[in-house]
Structure 1
C-alpha cells in the first residue's frame, strides 16, 4: 500500500508542475526568483525537520574571481534520522550525503530547483532496494514542490 501511495504521489507531482529529469537529476521549474525560491526552500527544509548546514552562492564565488555566472546557489541540508538508514544500505552513499538542492537561473531566465534523485543515488551504489529511498524521495518531493508552488 505504501508503494502504491508513493507511486500515485510521484505521478501527481510529475504531471502537476513543469519538471524534467536527466541522469538522476530532478529539476522543477519555479515561478519565483532564485532568491525567493531559495528562501522558500530553506523554510520548507526546516519545516520538514531537516537542518540547513550551509548555503553556497556560486554566483558570488564567480564574482570574487572576476567572472560572471547567472544566479546559482546550493543548499546543503539533512537529518541523520533519514540519512543514516540510507547509508546503512551502502556506506558509499555517504559521498552523496548530506542532501543538496541547486537553485539556478537558465539562459532563458527560467528559475529551476534541482536535486539528485535518491533512487538514482541508490542505483549508483548498487542498493536499489534500500527502504530509505522511498522516505527520502517523498520528503524531497514535498520540499521541492513547496518551494516552487504558488
Structure 2
C-alpha cells in the first residue's frame, strides 16, 4: 500500500504497480475479462481535464462488473446500485510510478447497505486479483 498522496477513506486501497501506466491498464483489462467481468467504461480523466484547459496526472477511471455477482446485491438492496458497477482508478504519481485505487466492498456494501456477507464473496475476490495483476 502507498500513502502520502492525499487523504482518502479507509475503504480505499491503493496498490503500487510494478508495471508502467499503459501495461497496468492492459493487464487489469485482461484479468477482468478472464474473470468474466465487463468493462462498462474507461474514462480518461486527464484527457477530460486537458479539454477544459487544465493539467492532471495520467488518471483513468474504469467501471467494471459481473452481472452475475452484482445483480443479487442490487436485488437485496436497490440503494446498493450506487456502488455498482465497481470502479478502480489507475493513476501515475509525480515520479512516474503507477498506482491502482479500488474500494473494499466489505467496508461499504456490507455495513452501509446491510448486504449479507455471502453475497459479497464474489466481489471480495477482486482484491487478490488486482494485487496479483500489479505485481
TM-score of Structure 1 vs Structure 2, range by shorter chain: 0.7 to 0.9
Of 121, 125, 129, the match for 1:134: 121
SS of match in other structure, 1:131: helix
Is 1:43 the counterpart of 2:30? The answer is yes
Q: Measure the CA separation in 2 of the matches of 1:117 and 1:106.
A: 22
| In structure 1, distance between residues paired with 2:133 and 2:24 | 6
In the alignment, what sits opposite 1:90?
A: 77
The match for 1:8 is none
Aligned partner of 2:58 in structure 1 is: 71
Offset of 1:116 from its aligned partner?
1.1
Equivalent in the alignment of 1:24: 11
What CA distance in whole angstroms lies between the structure 1 residues aligned with 2:38 and 2:88?
A: 13
- Which residue number corresponds to residue 90 of structure 2? 103
Output the TM-score relative to the length of structure 2: 0.86
Contact kept? 1:93, 1:121, Cα under 8 Å: no
More helix by share: 1
**Runs of 5+ in structure 2 lacking a partner?**
none
Unaligned regions of 5+ residues in structure 1, if any? 1-17
TM-score between both structures, scaled by the size of structure 1 = 0.78
Aligned pair count? 130
User: Given that residues 73 and 115 in structure 2 are in contact (C-alpha distance below 8 angstroms), is that contact kept between their aligned partners in structure 1?
Assistant: no
Deviation, 1:65, is 1.2
